[in-house]
Structure 1
């Protein structure tokens, strides 16, 4: 019997024989007992393999000093600061290459299996680096592969592939149609093709930490986490009237090159929901008509759309944002401003004097877009012109 189990038994017995008095002892006994049965006192709770109920691979950071998880068939694994720094390089390169989040997870799964996210000089035969890429297979020189940025670019491939044409990177295969583990294998050609899948849950947490997506933002909904992440990714992006599509910010008449591309309010929402296969029309009027009406501000849930009207009528709707939870909204404000998070919205008279209601696009309890409309367009024919706030 290990020490943690003994401590757990002592705590439970003390609680039972004290008539519940231990509940108040130090204010933390219950949390301590919960820790015992979830992998140990003071643990992060990550050993259960989940993200607070979110599906495996959901991108979010569960918090705590380190990320520790039980890996099936392997055992407990902890990601330290250096591992996380290497992972952050992979995620940054992936974002620069416009890799969707599932592709980022595949890359981290691969590096976890191949090197445990350690930039090692040596391995099977001539394999080196985070992805254990082989110079003899055309991945590059040892010095090049030992550069985490280079090796990540080589793994993703595509237009930024540093060693074309062989071997192909992730963007050279139809990875979106495959399981994540199979996609990793198609790039790596490993002797152990089934070895990657077990890392998916931890990889989602690592990507979440690298992208600063807190699990409280995600809740229990996989798709909610994805649409929130899709908006937070663009914090600081300029407002551009009529800007934004499925792929990200765009240049439009009012923000032509060399001005940076941007979003307007409904364009940002259109982009976010496209990441889970839902095609919202990029107009506030259409988005108001989509989904299920949320009439009271207090009933909003993370991921819901929030609408603001000049005069309290549908015809007066001029702006849309997304509720993040914790009384926060993310939106693309107006010309001259950038995508931002607004705290304590309910305490802001400017906003609440214009509040008209919300729309819930994802079904409650939906873990995937199969439950929420798939790739069908959501909304009705165009009600009126886009209007800048």
Structure 2
């Protein structure tokens, strides 16, 4: 992004973009061709958003490496989580492709210290950093922790786009320009690339991992076998809210994994291009916050409540009903953020312990699923949702597994 003229990054990556466009022709086939494995490292390299996109001889295809693919997919996932129109998601992807070719760039020369954060290489355009080349002197108060966090930058793009009048009907290139404020028509050149990438990763957004299962690995290693921290077959009984708590409680003590978890159990996480990568979440079996809640709702309802793996989508699910915060009950879900649709975290209200409200949740990379004081989120916007479905007061049937059979807590 260059508020003083044409973006340097847009000029410098022409050849790389052309190569990646060629690569993206093969991306759909590569992404959908991944299979099951019993090795977590291999699983992380062949699943989810296409980690390990390789040619037949093992070389990365034409410049679109695994981290680029993952970062592009995260842009799509966050956009869908926020409920952004397809044209706005396309604008975000076009902007990221143009600014950095889907890379989280540091800028050692002009933004000293940025190179100390996880990055995909070094840039030099003004004082711009990250996948959207955000100016450090203009945004986030120069906070490098935020500026070098790809998730923050992706949300920055969408937050800025939300303020543009008529965003939903604008041409994607024009919207990218309005957000990034770069050279005229700088973003139109990556439209084809962005469209192909979005088409490739979108079918995978609800299937975040391979068919491997098992315990988390405390060091992010390759072990997939063995018993999990909880009992995936422990009975679920009582009111629906209590069943939600019981389902999530099966996995207390399991390591957080960014992008991990689905309706059937813990899964290998995905690359986030930042904090999660530094903890090895992409090679770790576990849950992230919304992965745990989608699992708990599905299991506790016998498969009747089948939410998406995004906080913004979950809170707006047809089974979810807004509840005043002071009327929350155990088993209600609490979404945290500036709005329910734009929430960045979710947990399950557990009830009170020693007079304190408690939250059962998968907190963040480097931590484990646990019951924590709700006061830890003081100052955040809190949005309570109570889920229900016809017959939720009856003991549910066993939730169907991925192949239609009974579930054993594994995917």
Shorter-normalised TM range: 0.3 to 0.5
Higher relative contact order (CA 8 A, sep 6+): 2
TM value normalised by structure 1: 0.36
**Rg larger in structure:** 1
